[in-house]
């Protein structure tokens, strides 16, 4: 059994459920632990009663250090603070668990991720690089070399030590701003290949495809599979994919090829809409809090116009994305 963990609240419920369904589709022998940050997310997921999906209520998870941090940062910053705490919580709670893989909730699996564990081998930590398509040095300096999106930790001394160190750093400082070489939970990973032994950095291009790096690769659909250059696409990170309102989506700020729109984003829109229908069937009173454009109406209008002119990335339905 492969063990995974993620977290989300009611506003990420559709994306989280979509990720969960894609993981179970391609790796049935997996168990996913979900930290639910509010009662709504917990209740909806509990009613779904999905196989090998284990729920953790936030009140059962939070400790004194996390609660103190919760009082001095925003909600999103607090969620980021919890990133290292969740896999550490599970490794401590279940000493027989061999390893745990943290997943961002806005991933979508297109293929069996077991190849990542083959690459991981006997190492203690598994990381994925951003592999930026442009402004590489600047982006590494600003946003970090590694992305938190998919991280494996073995339940050994090194794996637990790394998580303990990372958890303490995030409790001390985890904010959505750049300060003294830090940014959220992510920039702390920059020196891990020197700080900790037995760190595996993935070289598989199909692990970690995302808006910030898709422009550097040839994306092809052949023999029923998506390829990133010569590697099969394992998962895509749908960063900045926004549900504007039902049937209206902002895909990304980056330029996309027709292949990416048709075989990556169109598929994801279908699955997001399936998740919306599933949630509505389970809880007809659930209301997704769509992104509020009123706060920065002029900025968002200008951004949408720029994106639309550049890439037609604001779509009204699946057909517009193909």
Residue 300's pLDDT is 46
- Report the alpha-carbon distance of residue 308 to residue 312 in Å, rounded: 4
Low-confidence ranges of the chain (pLDDT < 70): 289-322
Residue 238's pLDDT is 98
Helical packing angle, 266-282 and 39-48, nearest 10°: 90
Residue 320's pLDDT is 54
Q: Please provide the DSSP assignment of 173-224 as one string.
A: ---SSEETTEETTTGGGTTHHHHSSSEEE---TTEEE-TTTGGGS-EEEETT
Q: Does the pTM exceed 0.85?
A: yes
Asked whether 182 and 173 are in contact (CB, 8 A), the reply is: yes
Residue 246's pLDDT is 74
């Amino acid at each position: 059994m492969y063990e995974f963990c993620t977290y989300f609240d009611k506003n990420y419920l559709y994306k989280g459920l979509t990720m969960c369904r894609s993981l179970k589709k391609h790796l049935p022998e997996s168990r996913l632990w979900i930290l639910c940050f509010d009662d709504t997310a917990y209740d909806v997921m509990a009613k779904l009663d999905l196989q090998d999906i284990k729920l953790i209520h936030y009140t059962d998870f939070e400790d004194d250090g996390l609660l103190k941090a919760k009082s001095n940062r925003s909600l999103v910053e607090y969620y980021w603070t919890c990133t290292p705490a969740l896999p550490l919580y599970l490794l401590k709670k279940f000493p027989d668990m061999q390893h745990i893989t943290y997943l961002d909730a806005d991933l979508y699996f297109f293929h069996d991720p077991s190849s990542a564990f083959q690459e991981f081998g006997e190492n203690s930590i598994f990381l994925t690089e951003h592999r930026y398509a442009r402004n590489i040095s600047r982006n590494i300096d600003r946003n970090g070399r590694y992305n938190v999106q998919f991280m494996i930790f073995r339940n050994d001394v090194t794996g637990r030590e790394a998580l303990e160190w990372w958890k303490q750093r995030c409790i001390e400082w985890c904010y959505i701003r750049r300060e003294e070489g830090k940014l959220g939970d992510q920039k702390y990973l920059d020196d891990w290949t020197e700080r900790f032994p037995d760190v595996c950095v993935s070289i598989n291009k199909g692990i970690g495809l995302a808006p910030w790096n898709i422009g550097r690769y040839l994306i092809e659909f052949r023999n029923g599979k998506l390829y990133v250059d010569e590697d099969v696409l394992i998962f895509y990170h749908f960063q900045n994919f926004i549900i504007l309102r039902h049937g209206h989506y902002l895909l990304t700020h980056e330029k996309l090829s027709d292949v990416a729109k048709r075989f990556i984003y169109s598929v994801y829109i279908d699955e997001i809409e399936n998740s919306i229908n599933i949630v509505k069937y389970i809880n007809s009173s659930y209301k997704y809090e769509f992104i509020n454009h009123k706060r920065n109406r002029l900025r968002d209008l200008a951004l949408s116009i720029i994106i639309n002119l550049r890439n037609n990335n604001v779509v009204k339905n699946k057909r517009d994305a193909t």
